[in-house]
Amino acid sequence: MMALAEAIDVLGTIQPRGICGSVVTIRGLTLNVENLPLSIGSTVELEAADGLRQAGQRRGEVIGFHENQHVVMLYDDMEGIRPGAAVRGAETSGRMASVGPDLLGRVIDGLGRPIDGKGPIRFESRRPLIGPGVEPLAREPITQPLPTGVRVIDSMTTIGRGQRIGIFSRPGVGKSTLLASMACHASSNVNVIALIGERGREVQEFIQSTLGEEGLARSVVVVATSDESPLLRVRASLLATAVAEYFRDEHQCDVLLAMDSLTRFAQAQRQVGLARGEQPAMRGYPPSVFAMLPILVERAGAIDGGGSITGLYTVLVEADDMSEPVSDAAQSVLDGHIVLCPDLAARGRYPAVDAIESISRVADRVTDENHRAARRELRMLLSALRDVEELVSIGAYVKGTDPLTDTALELQGRIQQFLGQEPRESGDYPATCRTLVELATEAIRMRQRLIKAVPAGVPQAAEGSA
């Protein structure tokens, strides 16, 4: 009976080879095809210019239809496509993803094909490329922290198992390096890393140098570079999420899903949407972009009695404008944001995480009272330092004006040393928590001594202000 059920499932993914249409026109990135009775999302194959159709040479997907014609976008370029070229339904559906444990340690493209030169991959089963999100009542509450090995995140923006969080920055501030560091050192069973819209050189550097053999051994890397079809970039994002779901659902693993970047996924979806005739709604983005973002990220999370997917999504911020459409939409669907600061990066501090602007919406739920109190204290000290930064730089701040500021200036070196680390360094989570509490305790004692040392009758600035 099991064999029969499996055979029925396979039959459900097969499309009839006899279905054949023909190319009528080419419009930008799409083909208009007539006499092709296939549904949206179906995979098609096109015959070559010499009339001999070679399987896989030209593959594409039905993305829409207009009047009596289907709109098809190719995974490859359009070279060799001619008017009247035959378009046939492919043997397998593009809406399914091939998965299996042998994916670990491998690098694949948006179609699931290995690109690392290590030979074919033996797949175990197939899953929907766009699976249903976790039902709200089936989600397990986020109560356990996920140590990342990055001290500034573990202490100030603590991540929980099953959380979805964004890393927001302009290009060149170190988000890819931070992502790789977290993938290498995070307390997860499996990492699924999606490199979407990156340059080929950066992909090679990320895998060989930044991620390294140790990180790759427990990772699956899905790659769709910037020169590939926007449809393939969208598909790679969905495929990475489907692979993460497989390890969570079938093997009860705690999975870290790291996507670099969510912005390039949105840009690829914009190209697909505009190509099929959608009207731009907000700064050139069609409505489908803002519909796809929650569909993608809602599939991450922890399931009751099973595994979890913790989602890390990098978001490119244009001109430090956190209110631009993709950044704003991402903030609304994620459970927090880690903001990277160009000024900190320019000063040579790694990671350049702005601990004041970064927020984890589950941090209070996954840490104890001592950790929470220490985090609040350190945030006050960092805010005080930022408030008087210009005054200190020109020598205009007078020591003794504010006990909180004096304490922050006294401990500034130790605070910055605690929040910074080398990219390949991993911070022990219990040690990070202890150091945070020790720093906060010392700051409170120092401030209290300074308050008591102020002579009676001398006015003081309100606590927390400079």
User: Concatenated DSSP letters for 261-296?
Assistant: -HHHHHHHHHHHHHHTTPPP-BTTB-HHHHHHHHHH
- pLDDT more than 90, % of the chain: 52
Nearest to 362 by CA among 148, 156, 163, 138: 163
Q: Average pLDDT in the 101-115 region?
A: 93
The structural domains of the chain, with segments of one domain joined by +, span 13-89, 96-366, 370-453
* pLDDT surpasses 80 at 18: no
Question: Residues of the chain with pLDDT > 70: what percent?
Answer: 90
pLDDT value of residue 203: 87
Alpha-carbon distance 175 to 341, whole Å?
A: 10
158-182: average pLDDT: 90
Which fold does the domain 96-366 belong to in CATH?
Answer: Rossmann fold (3.40.50)
Q: Is the confidence at residue 368, as pLDDT, over 90?
A: yes
pLDDT at 176: 83
Q: Are 108 and 99 in contact (CB under 8 A)?
A: no
Specify the 3-state DSSP secondary structure of 396.
Answer: coil
Token code pair at residue 176: 């890819």
Question: According to the model, what pLDDT value does residue 364 have?
Answer: 94
Residue 17 has pLDDT above 60, yes or no: no
Mean pLDDT of the residues in the chain: 87
The arithmetic mean of pLDDT across residues 189-207, rounded, is 89
Copy the structure tokens of residue 96.
Answer: 């399914």
pLDDT score at 93: 66
| pTM of the predicted protein model | 0.88
**Rounded-to-integer distance, Cα 395 and Cα 355, Å:** 25
Cβ atoms of 98 and 126 closer than 8 Å: yes
Highest mean pLDDT among 41-50, 68-77, 238-247: 238-247
Task: Say what the pLDDT of residue 265 is.
Answer: 96
* pLDDT attached to residue 172: 83
pLDDT class of 53 with cuts at 50, 70, 90: very low
Structure confidence at residue 55 (pLDDT): 41
Instruction: State the architecture of 13-89 in CATH terms.
Output: Beta Barrel (2.40)
Length of the chain: 466
Query: So what's the pLDDT on residue 50?
Result: 55
Distance of CA 71 to the CA centre of its chain: 30
Question: CATH fold of 370-453, please?
Answer: Substrate Binding Domain Of Dnak; Chain:A; Domain 2 (1.20.1270)
Q: What are phi and psi of 306, to 5 degrees?
A: -135, -150
Say if residue 186's pLDDT is above 70.
yes
Please tell me the predicted confidence (pLDDT) of residue 401: 83
The model's confidence at residue 456, banded by pLDDT at 50, 70 and 90, is: low
Is the pLDDT at 250 greater than 80? The verdict is yes
What pLDDT is stored for residue 379 in this prediction? 96
Tokens of 458: 């001398």
pLDDT of residue 71: 92
Residue 462: pLDDT band with limits 50, 70, 90 = very low
